[in-house]
Structures are given as structure tokens and as C-alpha cells.
Amino acid sequence: MAKMKSGDIASDRAADEIRDIDVTLDFTPNADASVLYRQGDTMVLACATVASSLPRWFPRDADRGWVHAEYSLLPGSTDSRFQRERRGAKGRTQEIERLVARSLRGAINLEALGPIAITVDCDVLNADGGTRCASITAANIALRLCIRRLIAAGRCLPANKRLKHDQIKAGVEAPTLSAAEAKAHENAVLPHDLAAISVGLIDGGVYTDLDYILDSNADVDMNVVMTADGKFVEVQGTGEEFTYTRAELDALLESATAGVATLNEMQIRVLDGVE
């Protein structure tokens, strides 16, 4: 079936301009860290929660941690009600939450994290394109804030300062890190921020941060996940009944790289001085 295009891609944004972003930290009080993330009309609630123990399949004496992610579209997030997946996540949902989890694990140092398991839940409250990319960016903000708080609470420490099981049972207090040590350890656990952006090729032009209208008209759409030091975690690029050249691929990646750099600058501003 041919792809249905509206043909109308009129926008107030320049082709390389990211949608307006708004971030509310600690939107929900029960999670260890939560972020209400708006990118244009796409809205995601990302909540990071620390588990009471490592997954059962981990070795009993494991000294490395784990990060998992889940993703869902809420019923009111789309123009027609999205049915709850009560019998388990369906194919698209599974694919996206695996992408989010892979991306987070690609950016974090699980050995530096230590024997801690964190789940980041990404619930899409409103969908207007780029939900997986917005979820990854929001999840990174929530994850960094969660890790910062674990370090401040003495629950996430460098390997040479961690308490042994018998010390914990004996009630030995965890050592306190100085502000400089805490910052250094945070950067050891999450050396670089993570962000994702969608880009597309429409009538020969490259567009950044596709909303629904742009995405539905794209000849090529691509989701790019990168760390702040310019390394790629994942690239998902598809020609929609269309092919693209190496030069066009390079142009899409250049657009994504610039977009991710903007997102990383935003994350630094949002979390600056937040405890």
C-alpha cells in the first residue's frame, strides 16, 4: 500500500530547528526521580525507580548493576483512544522499550554503578511524533538525577568505598563523599549524557525533530541516539518506499548530530545545581 501523505508540511520552525522543550523535574513524588518532558506537543513522563535487589538472574555476589526500561502509550495520548496492552506489550511497544533500555545501558557504566538495579518507565501522555526519541532524552535526565541522589545518600559509591555485605548487616554507615568526589563518581557512572532525535528527508530537504505531520510526509525517517561526546548508540533509518544516497545519509546524520548537541546543552541547564 502506498504511503499516504498530506502534502502539507508548513511549519513555523526552520528545517533544522528543534521543537520547544519544557522539563518539569520531580513531577511525581513517589519515584526516586521523575521528569515530565515536553517536546512540542509530544509529552512523556519518565520515572526512575530503584529496585530492592538485582534481577534474580544476576550472580549473588555481583558487583555491577543493571538498568531496565519500559515504554507505553497511554490511552489518551493519540487522536483515537490507544487500547491498554493488558495482555503484555505488543511488537512496537517491545521494540521501543528495548531501544530505550539499550540506549541507557550504552551510556552508563554498570560497573561504576555497582550492584544497583534501576527501572526507567516512559509513559507517553501525548504523542505528536518522536515519542521514542523524547522518551530516551527524558529517561536520561531521570536516570542522571536518580544516580545523583543515590550517590548523595551513600547508596552508590566507588568500588573502593563500598561496604561489604557483612558490614551492611552490622549497621556500618556508608562513607560520605565530598562534593568533588560525588561529582567525579557521578561522571564515572554516567560519563556522558544521552539524547535522541528524529530526522527525515522530505522532497529532497533534511528536517530535524519530526512531528507527526513531518513524519507522515517523510520519504526517509531516521532515529539517532547519541552520547554527548559524539558517539552513536543506535541509528534507525528507513526509506518509506524510497531510497537514499550516501550523501543524503551523511546530511541526515549531520542534522541529527547538531540536534543532539542542542539536547545535551538543554540537559546540562536543566540539571545544573539540582540535588
**Res. 2: pLDDT tops 50:** no
Q: How far apart are CA 82 and CA 273, in angstroms?
A: 38
Residue 2 lies in a domain: no
Task: Examine residue 175 and state whether it is found in any structural domain, yes or no.
Answer: yes
Q: What is the pLDDT of residue 3?
A: 54
- Express as a percent the part of the chain with pLDDT over 70: 97
Instruction: Give the chain's domain count.
Output: 1
Q: Is residue 45 part of a domain?
A: yes
Q: What are the C-alpha distances in Å from 34 to residues 48, 122, 206?
A: 6, 10, 33
In a domain, 8, yes or no: no
Q: Are 147 and 189 in contact (CB under 8 A)?
A: yes
Residue 65 belongs to some domain of the structure: yes
pTM (2 d.p.): 0.93
pLDDT of amino acid 116: 96
The reply to whether 1 falls in a domain is no
Query: Which pLDDT score is estimated for 6?
Result: 60
Q: For 187-235, how does the pLDDT look when each residue is reduced to its tens digit (9 = 90+)?
A: 999 999 999 999 999 999 999 999 999 999 999 999 999 999 999 999 9
Cα angle: 128, vertex 130, 133; to 5 degrees: 145
Beta bridge partners of residue 48, listed in sequence order:
33, 120
Q: Strands 117-126, 42-50: parallel, antiparallel or unpaired by DSSP?
A: antiparallel
Mean pLDDT computed over 239-256 = 95
Contact predicate 174/154, CB 8 Å: yes
**Domain of 223, in residue numbers:** 21-271
Whether residue 82 is contained in a domain is answered as yes
Give the chain's mean pLDDT: 92
In a domain? residue 11:
no
| Residue range 88-133, pLDDT digits in tens | 777 888 999 999 999 999 999 999 999 999 999 999 999 999 999 9
CATH code for position 77: 3.30.230.70
